Amino acid sequence: MLPAKRKRSAAEAPDSVEKSLAFAAKCISKIQLNSNSKKIGQEASAKRLYQATEREVRQLLIRETLVGNDGDVEWDLCDPVLLVQHVLDRSSALRAVYAEKLAEHPMPWHVVIGFDEHVPGDKLKVKNLRKSMVVSFNFLEVGENILQMDCSWFIPIIMRSTKIDEVSGGWSQALRAFLRRMLVHDMSPAKAGIPLTIDGTTRVIRAVVSDIISDGDGHRQGLEWLGAGALKPCFLHGNVFSKNSGMADANCVTIAEHNHARFALNTHAEIYRNASIVVGARDLVKDGGMTQAGFEHVRKTTGLGTTSHGLLADADLQGSMKILEVIVIDWLHSLFQEGAMSIEVFEMLDAAKAGGLTRERVRAHVGSWAFPKHFQSKGNQLARFFDNYRADRMDSKRVIVGGASEQYVLYPLIRHLVDTEVTDPAFANNVESFRAACRVVDVIKLTKTRQIDIRLAKGLLLESIEEFLLKHKRAYGVERIRPKHHWLFDMACTAFRRQMPLDMFITERLHLRVKPEAELVRNTTAYERSSLALVLCTQLYELEKGHLHSGLRGRVVQFPGSSSALCADALVCSGLCVGTDDIVFYLESAGCVLACLLDDGELLVLVEELLLVARTTAQTSKWRLTTTRALWKASELNLAHAWREEGDGCITVIRI
């Protein structure tokens, strides 16, 4: 018989919050552990890190009481005003940025809010047991370069999905409470502003919410909209109906419509009137004045499921922001999260099977490429999209299954495969549809890398989306059309209306800040408080290490033979991440990076130039390595998407 385990006495058991944070603290690097401990003048230990992190967040936390399905639900989050004040107080670099931008931009400033559900663990083998909603925000006025830096974003909310399920109206009520903190509360950024002391002078940032970005499911939850499966699967356009609705006529269209001129925008009055009708219908059902079937008819015709505690039912918020003008439809998820491009890639590969392009050949092709260090870890996992674990799921859904950002890296590799190996005229319509879909993504990427003027992007996108849908219907009919195909038009109109394209890449990357801390917090009764504490300390650590601005990354040493130049293995320049052994383009020249340099305040790369051998497709070319070296300005570089060495000694490079 096994001896009984000795039970820990009550005196030995640490406080539950301390226990969870001390355990979670073990995931922090020794450098960060020592850094945080030195700040408080104590020896490094997980327990003392808990004490340091807990002090960081304690003064910022507020507690909201939400109406639950079975009583009140207590919810901890960071006050947005206090969070901004605290981070700027602790970071001189970020404070200097705000001082500069305050002198350039008048009030009010504009807040962009992003939210998405974070699922810990392997993205290709998802487990939803610890799913959480993560909210981040920033100010558009800090500029595109700063917005691309993860450490400049503020994370006030990490809310576990199991808690969201306890709340009446779910995430919509929680988002409503947060937006009231931003716009309606007496001490909100919109009313009282955010007081800051910069160089001994008190300045106040007054800010309004201008953009709320999420994927389709996030907006469905936040707006209590019925979403993709509804009779009206578009929140922005009131005359767009589901594919098999039978509603198409002279005034109404379905999601298969390719002519964007036929779409009619909803009005704010109509949205709020419909929300009020749904709330009233709910009350009638409770009082016995309406049947459940009648209520379902109301929901179906309005496309909303608004509750009295939801976002659209808040009269104060209706007067503080125009919901149709702040909603941003994310292109990344519309295309790649079981979206239009996920379907297109699957259908192209499925059709090409008849020509001998087997899944094994696709897997071998995808696994043969090298990638820039910036997304090398994603690239090295792409072959797993075509392993046996996902084969049945993809075949049953008829869509590529996996993370959106991973599929974004995947599609140029599939395009190269199609361009070089699918030459049978029998697949001409499939290939034309696939290439048209790629063109949509190309326009977006070229706009993000500033190769297309943002002022031209919307028109080019609408044209390319129309062409794609026409060619898709020619190849497959309307059977494979999904609401996300129509949402591409919504994306073009919402994500490209500012001076920079808005998307959820930053939100996806911020999950990397949340993941190591949040998934190790075991005591879920203090989940929000514990996770926010560690996430805040990680942000402060990154700011302290100089990650806010363009510059060298990693170990920095003196460049041999120079008294002024410093060198490192990587650099960041205006959002572009470059590392040694990456292949980069300077105008039409290509080179392999040997070192990253900083000389007299200018970022440079030392490259070994490549000699062009041949252009093989519109996006790919063959090069040969030379011994010629050159210094190129980092600000004028573009990164190759992927490359591989061929048997003839040449290097095939994919460039978008």
* Continuous segment of H or E residues that includes residue 147: helix 144-147
Nearest to 400, CA basis, from 360, 352, 341, 357:
341
Quote the Cα angle for 280-286-288, to 5°. Answer: 100
Q: Answer yes or no: are the C-beta atoms of 232 and 240 closer than 8 Å.
A: yes
pLDDT recorded at residue 368: 96
pLDDT recorded at residue 449: 85
pLDDT recorded at residue 58: 86
Per DSSP, helices labelled H in 353-453 are 359-366, 376-380, 388-397, 404-421, 428-448
State pLDDT tens for residues 320-358.
999 999 999 999 999 999 999 999 999 999 999 999 999
Nearest to 492, CA basis, from 466, 529, 520:
466
pLDDT recorded at residue 211: 97
As a whole number, mean pLDDT of residues 538-546 equals 87
Q: How far is CA 162 from the centre of its chain?
A: 22
pLDDT recorded at residue 4: 42
pLDDT recorded at residue 122: 52
Site of tokens 């879920």: 524
According to DSSP, the β-strands at 240-241 and 253-254 are: parallel
Q: How is residue 108 annotated by DSSP?
A: P
As a whole number, mean pLDDT of residues 229-257 equals 95
Domain map of the chain by residue range? 16-222+504-544, 267-306, 331-494, 551-654
**CA–CA distance, 516 with 128 (Å, rounded to integer):** 16
What three-state secondary structure class fits 551?
A: strand
**CA–CA distance, 337 with 524 (Å, rounded to integer):** 29
pLDDT recorded at residue 27: 42
Q: How far is CA 246 from the centre of its chain?
A: 35
pLDDT recorded at residue 535: 87
Quote the Cα angle for 130-135-141, to 5°. Answer: 155
State pLDDT tens for residues 48-65.
666 666 777 889 999 999
Q: Answer yes or no: are the C-beta atoms of 624 and 610 closer than 8 Å.
A: yes
**CA–CA distance, 453 with 639 (Å, rounded to integer):** 19
pLDDT recorded at residue 294: 96
Model confidence at 188: pLDDT above 60 = yes
Structure tokens at 476: 């497959």
pLDDT recorded at residue 50: 61
As a whole number, mean pLDDT of residues 234-241 equals 96
According to DSSP, the β-strands at 194-198 and 201-205 are: antiparallel
296 or 451, which is more confident: 296
**Backbone phi, then psi, for 116, in 5-degree steps?**
-160, 155
pLDDT recorded at residue 29: 47
Q: 526 falls in which pLDDT band (50, 70, 90)?
A: confident
Q: Answer yes or no: are the C-beta atoms of 613 and 633 closer than 8 Å.
A: no
503 or 121, which is more confident: 503
As a whole number, mean pLDDT of residues 103-123 equals 86
**CA–CA distance, 332 with 504 (Å, rounded to integer):** 7
Beta bridge partners of 621: 615, 653
Model confidence at 9: pLDDT above 70 = no
**CA–CA distance, 533 with 18 (Å, rounded to integer):** 12
518 or 322, which is more confident: 322
Model confidence at 519: pLDDT above 80 = no
Model confidence at 606: pLDDT above 60 = yes
State pLDDT tens for residues 577-605.
999 999 999 999 999 999 999 999 999 99
Tally of residues, the chain: 656
Q: Answer yes or no: are the C-beta atoms of 182 and 205 closer than 8 Å.
A: no
pLDDT recorded at residue 121: 54
| Torsional class of 637: left (φ above 0), alpha (ψ -120 to 50), beta (otherwise) | beta
| Mean confidence (pLDDT) of the chain | 89
29 or 442, which is more confident: 442
According to DSSP, the β-strands at 602-615 and 589-599 are: antiparallel
How many CB atoms neighbour CB 38 within 10 A? 12
β-sheet with 570-573: strand ranges across: 551-553, 570-573, 576-579
Rg (C-alpha) for the chain, rounded Å, is 26
Angle formed by the axes of helices 340-352 and 454-476, nearest 10°: 40
Q: 525 falls in which pLDDT band (50, 70, 90)?
A: low
Model confidence at 642: pLDDT above 80 = yes
Q: 378 falls in which pLDDT band (50, 70, 90)?
A: confident
**CA–CA distance, 398 with 342 (Å, rounded to integer):** 9
pLDDT recorded at residue 645: 94
What three-state secondary structure class fits 620?
A: strand
Q: Answer yes or no: are the C-beta atoms of 130 and 514 closer than 8 Å.
A: no
State pLDDT tens for residues 272-317.
999 999 999 999 999 999 999 999 999 999 999 999 999 999 999 9
Model confidence at 242: pLDDT above 70 = yes
Model confidence at 16: pLDDT above 60 = no
**CA–CA distance, 422 with 160 (Å, rounded to integer):** 46
Domain at 551-654, CATH from 2.60.120.380, 2.30.30.490, 3.90.1660.10, 3.40.50.920: 2.30.30.490
Instruction: Write out the DSSP string of 212-235.
Output: EEE-HHHHHHHHTB-GGGSSS--S
Structure tokens at 127: 């487990």
**CA–CA distance, 353 with 360 (Å, rounded to integer):** 11
What three-state secondary structure class fits 574?
A: coil
Structure tokens at 364: 């071998």
Model confidence at 10: pLDDT above 60 = no
